[in-house]
Amino acid sequence: MKKGNSSLFFTDSESAESYSLSNQFAENMEFRLVKDRNTATPYDFYYATAMAVKDNLVRKWLRTQNTYNENDTKRVYYLSMEFLIGRLLKNMLTNLSYDEKLAEILERDGLKLEDIVEAEEDMGLGNGGLGRLAACFLDSMATLKLPAFGYGIRYEYGIFKQLIDNGYQVEQPDHWLATGNPWETLRREINYRIKYFGKVISHKDDKGNLWFDWVDTEDVIAMGYDIPVPGYNTDNVNNLRLWAARSTDEFSFQEFNRGNYLQAVENKSTDENISKVLYPNDSYAQGKILRLKQEYFFVSASLQDIIRKYKINHSSMADFAEKTAIQLNDTHPVIAIPELMRILLDEEKLDWDEAWKITTETFAYTNHTVVPEALEEWSVNILELLLPRHLDIIYEINHRFLKYVKQYYTADDEIVSEISLIKEGKEKFVRMAYLAIVGSHHVNGVAALHTEILKNRIFKHFHKIFPGKFVNVTNGITPRRWLRTANPKLAELITNKIGSSWAKNLSDLRKLEDFTNDKKFLKDWQDIKLENKKKLKDYIESEHNIKVNINSIFDIQIKRFHEYKRQLLNVLHVIDLYIQIRENPDKEFTPRTVIFGGKAAPAYLQAKMVIKLINNVADVINNDPQVGDKLKIVFLKNYSVSLAELLIPAADLSEQISTAGFEASGTGNMKFALNGALTIGTMDGANVEMAEEIGEENMFIFGLLSDEVVKLKESGYDPKEYYDANPRLQRVVSIKISV
């Protein structure tokens, strides 16, 4: 930073926006952080910059919300356990078109915007595609000026920071909030009481109507924190509200009077664990209870907040469904269905039919998976303990649903049992996906193939019972984040050729087909790709001490580790390439750098062993002098949104190789394709629709189709048959080479 009297203050020739940014930066540094140029840290520079940008959003933010209220606009509420939004500063600058202005202002004082951006922590609010889709939806809805709100949990810790020790994944706490979050605003007045445990008592009023009260509960307070979500090139600023758990002011006076103060407040202190960490380990009873507590916590707070906002303009609940649309992002928020019923029945005193009509017309459900273990089920015993009133309501929903089924669909006891919301057995479970289907007006899959599998295989009876309820909404990504922000030079090249409309209307990229024979354009594109590869190369060499060949194919697979995503298949292919190089050292070979990234769930031993295998194979290949720079394998630790923004623009080849019929959609495949990477993959998820748009001849498609996978499984799949019949596979599995 330069010394002297110059500072980040305005000059007479600066625009009002530049004046505001520079002045607010200086005031934030001085008055909020109490720092000057001699004491400020890199994080202070980031914090002051972020606050200056946020300050410039506030008026638009307030006016947007006020407009929604004044116009009594129908609102969309997106309920999600995850919002994988990563870093915000760079994306905010893109949407506000402040990036160039701010870079110039900072440069006057010897600061680089790139360095300031790097000081920001990724927000630990999500883990995979579910959360990234939610983040892209928020961006797109704000850009389209839709009155949309996100609701989630303000996790103090993300899922975990991933380190690698002797090839093994090691989990460490991801305390992303340790240094604060300049983007959030605490709404002290926005707080709600969340109930757990207790019992249900019934009573009749003077007219003989039966009512229920949920009493003797243990309560927690949900506190609201707001994050602005600006649209791209618009004054519209929507809101993401995250809930943090706080204990009530109550504690056991009985224990206190005995002199045991710590015991008196202990239970209240543990209440705050509810919003402590994303996805607590639910492999044991207490972990399961905490997970369900989390889901109900944010759902109850969100519904109370939604109803509060609705009642600003309405004195009854009659128009609630006409003014309110609630989207359930997967099964995690599905407890919202019985929660809204509880509120309408017990607090608003509506009869069942009216309450159920409002509920089913309000909710819609997005299914994200066909993997059985991801179709969430909750133990009846846990629900009865934690949410007794909700279990009563679920039983009543199921009773009425099965009565309808027997009257209008089938009396076959086997089918009725199969589609019951209650899974019978030694221990009973509530099938949350079934509850979501019955309680929503629409159910959507997230790719055309996925939706067909839901209709014809996973939920085939529900599709017949509720014709027209199942629809497809293929996943998407925001081009603002994943091209304009992540790959600015490519975005600029495209804009110079076809204009900037593609940032809001991605189909305009088809205009680039006019330049497929433009040699200068193609050369510029290749140069940008090479520059992005150099950035990634420098990162790999700096962080992992692995020398990579910048002229090699950058072959990248970055995903959550799971068997169906087939990272194992990829590493077996790498071993096969290694054998070929060793056996034919003089043969011409296109150099390749194979890059993996992703986390395995802490309790998912098999996935963690694949990470260990990748790192062991890397140790052999990367240190073999016979291989040299022809082949390298790299596992990048602690995969995140910000790391994806470095990897995706540098990719030559995108690995999308899930077993057909298992990947619901995927969004990584789209991000890679948007940045000019070629796709190798199966006909699974959104790959199918990508092939239709791109042309299958422009993708590398292999493997069985989803129907063929099902037939193979039904006929009896024996992996040893394939092993015995394939000498190359035998060599890959049995190879023993040390360097």
Task: Give, in order, the Cα–Cα distances in Å from 35 to each of 25, 281, 725.
Answer: 12, 41, 70
Asked about 671 being catalytic, the answer comes back as yes
Catalytic residue among 559, 562, 592, 632: 559
Asked about 560 being catalytic, the answer comes back as yes
Please check whether residue 104 is in contact with residue 145, taking contact to mean a CB–CB distance below 8 angstroms: no
Catalytic residue among 331, 667, 679, 682: 667
Predicted local confidence at residue 261, as pLDDT:
59
Residue with tokens 């600029």: 492
Can you spell out the DSSP letters for 463-493?
A: HHHSTT-EEE------HIIIIIITSHHHHHH
Catalytic residue among 101, 241, 368, 599: 368
Predicted local confidence at residue 251, as pLDDT:
56
User: What's the topology of domain 549-734?
Assistant: Rossmann fold (3.40.50)
Task: Name the residue type at position 182.
Answer: P
Predicted local confidence at residue 1, as pLDDT:
38
Predicted local confidence at residue 2, as pLDDT:
38
Could you tell me whether strands 700-701 and 678-681 are parallel, antiparallel, or unpaired per DSSP bridges? Answer: parallel
Predicted local confidence at residue 215, as pLDDT:
96
Q: Which residues of the chain have a pLDDT value below 50?
A: 1-16
Can you spell out the DSSP letters for 296-357?
A: HHHHHHHHHHHHHHHTTT-SSSTTHHHHEEEEEESSTTTTHHHHHHHIIIIIS---HHHHHH
Asked about 463 being catalytic, the answer comes back as no
Measured in degrees and rounded to the nearest 5, phi and psi for residue 343 equal -65, -45
Catalytic residue among 154, 291, 463, 565: 565
Q: What pTM, to 2 d.p., does this model score?
A: 0.94
Asked about 54 being catalytic, the answer comes back as no
Catalytic residue among 161, 342, 480, 671: 671
**640-694 pLDDT, tens per residue?**
999 999 999 999 999 999 999 999 999 999 999 999 999 999 999 999 999 999 9
Listed in order, the ranges of the chain carrying CATH 3.40.50.2000 are 549-734
Q: Which two tokens stand for residue 331?
A: 């099964």
Say which DSSP state 216 is in. S
Predicted local confidence at residue 280, as pLDDT:
81
Asked about 217 being catalytic, the answer comes back as no
Please check whether residue 277 is in contact with residue 265, taking contact to mean a CB–CB distance below 8 angstroms: no
Asked about 559 being catalytic, the answer comes back as yes
